[in-house]
């Protein structure tokens, strides 16, 4: 049995659950002031980073791609058509939040892998001024994003979900905003230029949606990279589907090659992606040392006595939520050393129980990836060769 990201993170903090898949933020500037109308789907906010009567229009909640997004964009078009909005202002952009709470961590890993592979294509589509833009830095220019993705997935692998939280200054201006997963349960794509045209926004969403639909297939990051190795052109065509015509470029191969190193690092960062979403079923009898050890091994792959106090507290929290009761004569959970309340999450995120779980040997950034070597790196865990028809 598998669990969604919402089910995995419910012990971390309270999240609002929505069936909708995408949130949209449209930053606008105008030639003249205007009165903001009332909307069904949108709320309007002042944004200090915008000039020229700048307003940011934000969906009130995530909406479904097929049933609701078209209506919301039609409403935006109809109610702003009389305003003299400035197209493609350098101060504006369009941000899309992908709601991952209803998906699994394996799907998230798949998305990180395919995104890193084609990020430079997305940047080129988004606009000439978005390449190297300091407010949407791609992985190639800000490699800390790749490092943070790997850290996040390795924390998830060890069931230490507090590790998905990152300092704002590390993630705020990346083209792929992974910090939103902790805050809202979403991943933010910040690439798109400030084109308020609903038709252009819908096209951009269709590209993202194609990547999400691909990520939900019965694949994992390692098999994804193997599929790309076997037939790269067919792989990209299957990834983008009907949107291939708007994303394809003459220099597509070169742009993908530039990020191949990062995609391989992400794909090989977790030993067994299929274990990330499995439900853990453990003995609920009592806080015996045997059970404490079982839970510690399940969540951190370490013995109970080797855990730092904050992680022992997290194990006890998980046990309580699974109905473990205190019985006289066994370990009293109230006697376990507690972490200071005001630094609990920080200690969890930075606890010294990490360790480097990156598997395989990868080349230096920017180096070409020979096909045979890439197959060896990806297949290091005896991963079966993928039938190309799966893609």
pLDDT at 86: 77
Euclidean distance between CA atoms 194 and 94, whole angstroms: 5
Return the pLDDT at 94.
93
Residue 98 binned pLDDT confidence (cut-offs 50, 70, 90): very high
Mean pLDDT for the stretch of residues 161-176 = 85
Band of pLDDT at residue 281, cut at 50, 70 and 90: low
Question: Alpha-carbon dihedral of residues 262, 263, 269, 271, nearest 10 degrees?
Answer: -160
Token code pair at residue 34: 């205007």
Q: What pLDDT, in 10s, does the model give residues 67-92? A: 999 999 999 999 988 888 778 777 78
Asked if residue 98 lies in contact with residue 21, where contact means CB atoms within 8 angstroms, the answer is: yes
Cβ contacts of residue 91 below 8 Å, gap of 6+?
Answer: 27, 29, 49, 50, 51, 52, 54, 194
Helix or strand (DSSP H, E) at 27:
strand 22-28
Q: For a pLDDT cut of 90, what percent of the chain falls above it?
A: 46
Average pLDDT, the chain: 81
- 76-104: burial string, b at 16+ Cβ within 10 Å, e else: beebbeebebbeebebbbbbbbbbbbbbb
Residue 331 exposed, middle or buried by CB count within 10 Å (0-12, 13-18, 19+): middle
What was the pLDDT predicted at 288? Answer: 76
- Which pair of tokens denotes residue 57? 């229009």
On whether the CB atoms of residues 266 and 221 are closer than 8 A, the answer is yes
pLDDT category at 333 given cuts 50, 70, 90 is low
pLDDT at position 356, please? 36
In order, the DSSP letters of 155-186 are HHHTT-GGGG---HHHHTTBSEETTHHHHHSE
Percent of the chain whose predicted confidence (pLDDT) is above 70: 78
Least confident interval from 112-126, 272-286, 358-372? 358-372
Quote the pLDDT of residue 284. 63
* Rounded mean pLDDT, 129-136: 64
More confident residue, 74 or 127: 74
> Taking CA 96 as the corner, what is the angle to CA 10 and CA 202, rounded to the nearest 5 degrees?
130
- In this prediction, residue 219 carries a pLDDT of 94
Residue 248 has pLDDT above 90, yes or no: yes
Give the model's confidence band at 360: pLDDT under 50 very low, under 70 low, under 90 confident, else very high.
Answer: very low
How far is CA 313 from each of CA 88, 159, 309, 346, 390, rounded to the nearest angstrom?
50, 14, 6, 13, 43
């Amino acid at each position: 049995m598998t669990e969604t990201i919402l089910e995995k993170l419910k012990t971390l903090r309270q999240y609002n659950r929505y069936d909708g898949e995408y949130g949209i933020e449209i930053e606008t500037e105008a030639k003249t002031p205007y009165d903001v109308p009332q909307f069904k789907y949108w709320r309007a906010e002042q944004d200090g980073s915008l000039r020229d009567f700048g307003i940011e229009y934000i969906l009130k909640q995530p909406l479904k791609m097929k049933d609701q997004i078209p209506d919301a964009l039609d409403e935006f078009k109809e109610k702003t058509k009389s305003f003299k909005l400035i197209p493609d202002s350098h101060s504006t952009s369009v941000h899309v939040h992908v709601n991952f709470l209803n998906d699994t961590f394996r799907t998230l890993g798949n998305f990180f892998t395919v995104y890193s592979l084609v990020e430079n294509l997305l940047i080129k589509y988004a606009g000439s001024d978005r390449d190297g833009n300091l407010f949407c830095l791609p992985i190639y220019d800000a490699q800390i994003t790749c490092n943070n993705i790997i850290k996040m997935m390795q924390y998830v692998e060890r069931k230490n979900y507090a590790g998905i939280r990152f300092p704002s200054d590390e993630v705020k201006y990346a083209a792929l905003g992974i910090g939103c997963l902790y805050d809202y349960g979403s991943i933010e794509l910040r690439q798109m230029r400030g084109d308020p045209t609903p038709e252009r926004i819908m096209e951009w969403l269709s590209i993202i949606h194609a990547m999400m639909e691909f990520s939900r297939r019965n694949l994992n990051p390692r098999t994804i990279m193997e599929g790309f190795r076997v037939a790269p052109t067919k792989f990209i065509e299957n990834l983008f589907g009907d949107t291939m015509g708007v994303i394809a470029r003459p220099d597509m191969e070169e742009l993908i090659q530039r990020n191949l190193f990062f995609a391989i690092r992400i794909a090989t960062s977790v030993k067994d992606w299929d274990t990330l979403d499995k439900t853990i079923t453990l003995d609920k009898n009592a806080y015996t040392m045997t059970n404490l050890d079982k839970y510690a091994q399940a969540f951190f792959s370490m013995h109970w006595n080797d855990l730092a106090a904050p992680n022992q507290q997290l194990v006890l929290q998980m046990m309580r939520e699974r109905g473990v009761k205190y019985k006289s004569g066994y370990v009293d959970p109230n006697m376990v050393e507690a972490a200071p309340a005001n630094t609990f999450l920080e200690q969890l995120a930075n606890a010294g129980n990490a360790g480097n779980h990156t598997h395989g040997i990868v080349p230096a950034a920017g180096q070409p990836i020979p096909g045979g070597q890439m197959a060896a790196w990806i297949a290091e865990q005896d991963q079966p060769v993928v039938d190309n028809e799966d893609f």
